[in-house]
Amino acid sequence: MKGILKIVILFLVVSSISLANTNHINYIMNTNKNLSQEQAEKLYKKFKTYTNKYDVDIELALAVASVESKFRETAESGAGAYGIMQIMDITSKHYDKNRKILDENIEIGVLHLNDSLKAFGKTDNAIASYNAGISRIKTTNYKNIPETRFYVAKVKQELEKLKYKIKVDKAREMQTIKEVVKKSISKTNKIKFNLGEDEKQQVEENEEVGIDETNEEETEQNQVEEKKEEKRGLGFKLGGLGMLPNSD
């Protein structure tokens, strides 16, 4: 009886793995209609190899590759990013690998994701750092970077197709907002320090008007950036890995 139970459990496990493989392969083919079944299977195996090696969920790697290049092996952006994972030259050198070789391109991308996950956990900030650089996201709320905000949204859309959920780092988001507000208040207080009452009141009125104008300008700018990205389709990279001095 125990032997039969073990066989049933093994069958269910194998079936589950097989179904996941099929879904991932179909996802690759649906993203890039030019790929054959055989080509998609080969790509899947490469992603599976490196995501297992570096402990990165394959769904995350596939979603990033989809947004970056639509699984096009020789895709190249105007910013100089290359391949399926859209690797910048500085990132390639950092990991001491050749981004022009398919396997190494995928490996670099997965390594980068691994570093991002170590820095931010399985959160939206990890996705953002793949685009804008780890060091930049450590000091900046990615929602203030139109291109990166749009990039994160696109990757999360792909993750939904793969039935994979990513967390929003609310604690860090609030911390970043508090730091920005604190700096803004500090700067305003310095300006007001040597002003008379009438001048202080004028500064406060200007601040209120400025907030409204800034919000309108940001909204317009964000819409323009999103339209640009939709047309561009490739090359979301802002500046490589962003882990080295001045690499952002």
First CA to last CA distance, the chain: 62
Tokens in use for 74? 């020789």
Supply the DSSP string of 83-128, one letter for each residue.
Answer: TTTTB-HHHHHHTT--TTSHHHHHHHHHHHHHHHHHHH-SBHHHHH
Query: What angle, rounded to 10 degrees, do the helices at 197-232 and 170-192 form?
Result: 140
Active site residues: 68
Measured distance CA(100)–CA(58) in Å, rounded: 21
Are 237 and 77 within 8 A, CB to CB? Answer: yes
Are 58 and 192 within 8 A, CB to CB? Answer: no
Q: Among 66, 213, 227, which Cα is nearest to 147's? A: 227
Are 91 and 108 within 8 A, CB to CB? Answer: yes
Measured distance CA(122)–CA(100) in Å, rounded: 28
User: Alpha-carbon torsion 199, 205, 206, 207, what sign?
Assistant: positive
